[in-house]
């Protein structure tokens, strides 16, 4: 019994030391990983845009969904949103003429300049 007790008494500081060393290394690598994560360049978040299924007569709700704004958005923010969405979908950059016309119609509806007739398409 006495021999077993001496062996177990001698190993407990060793096990404690190994546990402390493992925690220190884990902490070191955790800090390095966190710094690398913070230093990485921020990526643009993908926004979910309106997928279509347009109604025959555009409503304010549909116009706001197309431009990615709220119905009560101020005029200058509507113009910024229109510009952003139009740049992404312009026909000269490979976009569709139909989608571009719907984006323009959405801007007109939100600015209160909508025509009495339906879309050109």
45: left (phi over 0), alpha (psi -120 to 50) or beta: beta
- What pLDDT is stored for residue 31 in this prediction? 94
Q: Is the pLDDT reported for residue 83 higher than 80?
A: yes
Q: Structure tokens of 45?
A: 């978040």
Q: Please list, in sequence order, all residues whose beta carbon lies within 8 angstroms of the beta carbon of residue 39, skipping any fewer than 6 positions away.
A: none
Return the pLDDT at 41: 74
pLDDT of 75 above 70: yes
Residue 40 pLDDT level (bands cut at 50, 70, 90): confident
Instruction: Please check whether residues 28 and 75 belong to one and the same domain.
Output: no
- Structurally, how many domains does the chain consist of? 2
pLDDT of residue 73: 87
Contacts of 50 (CB under 8 A, 6+ apart): 62, 65, 66, 68
pLDDT at 50 over 60: yes
* Same-domain status, 87 and 74: yes
Supply the range of the domain harboring residue 74: 45-121
pLDDT higher than threshold 90 for residue 95:
no
The answer to whether residue 49 scores a pLDDT higher than 80 is: no
The pTM of the full predicted model, rounded to 2 decimals, is 0.53
| Rounded Cα–Cα distance for residues 17 and 44 (Å) | 45
pLDDT of the residue at 105: 92
Residues 59 and 49 in one domain: yes
């Amino acid at each position: 019994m006495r021999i077993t007790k001496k062996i177990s008494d001698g190993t407990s500081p060793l096990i404690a030391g190994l546990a402390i060393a493992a925690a220190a290394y884990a902490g070191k690598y955790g800090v390095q990983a966190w710094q690398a994560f913070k230093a990485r360049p921020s990526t643009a978040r993908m926004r979910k845009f309106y997928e279509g299924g347009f109604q025959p007569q555009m409503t304010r709700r549909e116009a706001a969904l197309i431009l990615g704004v709220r119905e009560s958005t101020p005029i200058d923010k509507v113009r910024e949103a229109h510009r952003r969405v139009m740049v992404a979908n312009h026909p000269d950059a490979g976009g569709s003429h139909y989608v571009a016309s719907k984006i323009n119609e959405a801007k007109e509806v939100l600015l209160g300049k909508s025509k009495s007739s339906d879309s050109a398409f």
